[in-house]
Amino acid sequence: MENLNDDKIRQVVRENYAKVAESGGSSCGCGTPSDLPVIETPCCGGPSPLQKERPIQDSTRMGYSSEDLASVPEGANMGLGCGNPQAIAALKPGETVVDLGSGGGFDSFLAANKVGSEGYVIGIDMTPEMVSKARENALRNRYTNVEFRLGEIEHLPVADNSVSVILSNCVINLSPDKPSVYREAFRILKQGGRLAISDMVAIAELPDELKNDLDNYCGCITGTIPAVEIEQMLTEAGFENIRIKHKDESKEFVTEWVPGKSIEDYVVSATIEAFKP
Amino acid sequence: MKKDLMDILACPMCKGELELTIEEEDEKEVVTGSLSCAKCSEIYQIKDAIPNLLPPDLRNQS
């Protein structure tokens, strides 16, 4: 990503996810801007146009139960995650949750089911088409404890010390300024609040050829950093009890994102947990 | 946007408190209006009940 500036990265990510929102999730999550070659197989789990059933298959492989999948509005699951942050969040009734990069709202709705009527979920996403889609899903299914806002995860529109849990699924790797994301997350969490993230991390440096090949259109591979760097950013932000676990079973779906390139040798899905003391 | 969620909202830029101006609302939420920051004077629009709290540079691209 050295050859792309931050604004360009944000612009590409937004354009890609706007297209995914408009297509109902039936295109690649990491996107293919119109001036770039179309890749037929998804990355970040986004299904290819011919594979409408993909979100469900992929979500099961990412760790969601069939009960989870059946409990959210149709259309909210766009198959864009890379794990199941809910599984590590252990949400309790009454908690206030912020979902960073909420997309179609899949994880926000699952969280809303868990925190119940006394709790609240706020999904934040920088792509207008995604936020509109998530809101439609909420309205259609009469959710009263989840709201979506247009916002940037590096500049959260949330008050200090105001939320119990931060969720995020395969989003932070796309940020060109990850330290800001973690500093903001720390700021908005209450004392004792926790971070429950599923994201891609780097396990080996991408060869230049692959890096150039993937630049622009697959931020969820080229934007990844190693777990040690994430841990350092979290520590610098103030977090404690940091646990980052590679999910080796993710190789099964990661390998399909860019066939023939062995990307599973370079990136892996991981769960990231941390607490605000 | 629900009014009772105002207390956990903040200006994305300076983290100041936001003041709500309602232009249109229904029984559940604010449909059209704006949020203005008392500290840095930035104004954020609410359209179709969705507050646009993107930083000014990103907002202008949308």
pLDDT in tens, A171-221: 999 898 999 999 999 999 999 999 999 999 999 988 887 777 766 556 677
Question: Is there a contact between B48 and A132 if contact means CB atoms under 8 Å apart?
Answer: yes
Give how far B52 is from chain A: nearest CA, Å. Answer: 5
Domains: count for chain B: 1
Average pLDDT over residues A150-172: 96
**Interface touch A126/B58, C-beta < 8 Å:** yes
Please say if the pLDDT value at position B31 is more than 60. Answer: yes
Residue A225 lies in a domain: yes
Looking at the 3D structure of chain A, how many domains does it have? Answer: 1
Query: Is residue B44 scored above 70 in pLDDT?
Result: yes
Query: Can you give the residue range of the structural domain that contains B18?
Result: 3-53
Across residues A106-135, what is the average pLDDT?
94
**A27 band by pLDDT with thresholds 50, 70 and 90:** very low
How many CB pairs below 8 A link A and B? Answer: 69
Return the closest-CA partner of residue A220 out of A33, A89, A17, A29: A29
Q: Do A157 and B2 touch (CB under 8 A)?
A: no
Edge-to-edge strand order for the sheet containing A267-275?
A146-150, A120-125, A96-100, A163-169, A189-202, A267-275, A240-247
**In the Cβ-directed half-sphere of A70, how many Cα atoms lie within 13 Å?**
3
Evaluate whether residue B8 is within a structural domain.
yes
pLDDT at A55 over 80: no
Question: Cβ contact (<8 Å) for A148 and B12?
Answer: no
Q: Which pLDDT does position A3 carry in this prediction?
A: 47
pTM beyond 0.80, yes or no = yes
Task: Say which of B7, B12, B48 has its CB closest to residue A151.
Answer: B12
Distance from the B54 Cα atom to the nearest Cα atom in chain A, whole angstroms: 4
User: Do the domain assignments include residue A233?
Assistant: yes
Over chain A, what is the mean pLDDT? 82
Of A8 and A36, more confident: A8
Q: Is residue A52 one of the residues assigned to a domain?
A: yes
- Reported as a pLDDT band with limits 50, 70 and 90, residue A33 is very low
- Closest Cα partner for A12 from A204, A238, A176, A167? A176
